[in-house]
Amino acid sequence: MRKPTLEEVAAAAGVSKMTASRALRGAADVSRESVLKVSRAAEQLGYVGNRLALALSSQRTNLVSVVVPSMSNIVFAEVLAGISAGLEGSGMQAVFGITDYDPLKEHVVIRDMLSWQPAAIIVTGLEHGEETRRLLEQAKIPVIEIMDTDGYPIEFNIGLSHGVAGEEMAHALLGAGRRKFGYVGSALDKDLRAAKRKLGFEKVLKAAGLSFIAQSIAPEFSSAALGKRLTLEMLATAPEPDCIYYSNDDMAAGGLFACMQKGVAVPDQVLIAGFNGLELTAALPVKIATSCSPRRHMGEMAARIACRALTDERATLTRRIVFTPEITLGDHAMPDKQA
């Protein structure tokens, strides 16, 4: 026995397919009686509508495709949670795809997503292969690029400038009196946004006649364990920096643990700065410096734009929203008061 179809529900209720369809969708022009008969029949048969047929027939889906580079990074999970929450109540459904930071995989994933005829698509970052970009342009649905604003968006763009984030952090740290900067990062060839932050940071250092006196960069993905390892390495070899800029908070937290273990005073001896403003940083024994990225909020906003682009005039919506990450020096603000 197959799964019951609308036709079978209709038959059981003694009405036509159309009446059943209308009744189940809560259409206005259906008699109370029909609604009752139909919903009872549906209930009784355990009827679950077939969205494939619905979508094909009505030529529209409630799908919002979301493409992110990774899932093992809490940051993207939070963005997804934001999108999911932002879609709540709209009747839209998020569908997620993961690229593993691989442009080729991104192409395949986006193609696969588009084949489901989503109503809108949200992708991470502004860098896509040429063909991938064409795919998105030709899809004729709202395209929302999130997280980054340093580049040329296809249509809608919500994020922050990582170049500027790096610059501002450099300014703040210089303002806090630091001069001997180290850099600890990972997978910069894949994490383009981390690379942009580093570039912005270096730009400001250069303008101040400075540059990183030590760098430790690994090809693996970021993690507290990696940040700890690289920091231990850096601390073991002269010259010792008075401030280390990390590719993100995971790495920075590891750096903090490394310092604690080596008896290096934080922030007196070494100031530690990350990026994201992870929830974890609020709990650390020493509050490190960080720029808070509104990642959940970005997700919610992207979701909202996706919905609005389908109802309101898509052309009148703001096409670019740039967040300014708030910098906090945490406990590090105290030793050398600034401003």
> Which residue, 76 or 212, has its beta carbon nearer to a copy of itself?
76
Give the nearest distance from C-beta 312 to DNA in angstroms: 20
Are the C-beta atoms of residues 210 and 243 closer than 8 Å to each other?
no
> Which residue, 87 or 172, has its beta carbon nearer to a copy of itself?
87
CB-based contacts of 197, cutoff 8 Å, min separation 6: 162, 163, 165, 166, 169, 247, 275
Binding segment for DNA (CB under 7 A), chosen from 17-25, 158-166, 258-266, 300-308, is: 17-25
Three state DSSP letters for 61-89? CCEEEEEECCCCCHHHHHHHHHHHHHHCC
Give the nearest distance from C-beta 98 to a copy of itself in angstroms: 5
Give the nearest distance from C-beta 162 to DNA in angstroms: 39
Q: Does 18 bind DNA (CB under 7 A)?
A: yes
Gap between the terminal Cα atoms of the chain: 75
**Helix, strand, coil percentages, rounded to 5, for the chain:** 45, 15, 35
What's the maximum distance between 2 C-alpha atoms anywhere in the chain? 85
Give the nearest distance from C-beta 42 to DNA in angstroms: 10
Selection from DNA, a copy of itself, none that 7 binds (CB < 5 to 8 A by kind) is DNA
Q: Give the count of beta carbons closer than 10 Å to the beta carbon of residue 271.
A: 26
Footprint on this chain of a copy of itself (rule: CB under 8 A): 3, 46, 48-53, 55-56, 61, 70-74, 76-78, 80-81, 84, 93-96, 98, 111-112, 114-117, 134-135, 138-140, 223-225, 227-228, 253-254, 257, 260-261, 279-280, 282-285, 296
> Which residue, 30 or 113, has its beta carbon nearer to DNA?
30
Q: Does 104 bind DNA (CB under 7 A)?
A: no
CA distances from residue 77 to 6, 71, 97, 124, 147 in whole angstroms, order as listed: 37, 6, 12, 12, 13
Give the nearest distance from C-beta 41 to DNA in angstroms: 12
Q: Does 93 bind DNA (CB under 7 A)?
A: no
Q: Does 19 bind DNA (CB under 7 A)?
A: yes
Are the C-beta atoms of residues 187 and 101 closer than 8 Å to each other?
yes
Are the C-beta atoms of residues 4 and 47 closer than 8 Å to each other?
yes
Q: Does 261 bind DNA (CB under 7 A)?
A: no
Give the nearest distance from C-beta 49 to a copy of itself in angstroms: 5
CB-based contacts of 222, cutoff 8 Å, min separation 6: 73, 185, 186, 187, 191, 194, 247, 248, 250, 251
Radius of gyration of the chain (CA): 26
Considering only residues 22 to 41 of the shown chain, the ones binding DNA according to CB under 7 A are 22, 25, 28-31, 33-34
Selection from a copy of itself, DNA, none that 17 binds (CB < 5 to 8 A by kind) is DNA
Give the nearest distance from C-beta 59 to DNA in angstroms: 6
CB-based contacts of 30, cutoff 8 Å, min separation 6: 19, 22, 23
Q: Does 310 bind DNA (CB under 7 A)?
A: no
Element (H, E) at 164: helix 162-175
Q: Does 283 bind DNA (CB under 7 A)?
A: no
Binding stretches for DNA (CB under 7 A): 2, 5-7, 15-19, 21-22, 25, 28-31, 33-34, 49-50, 53-54, 56-59
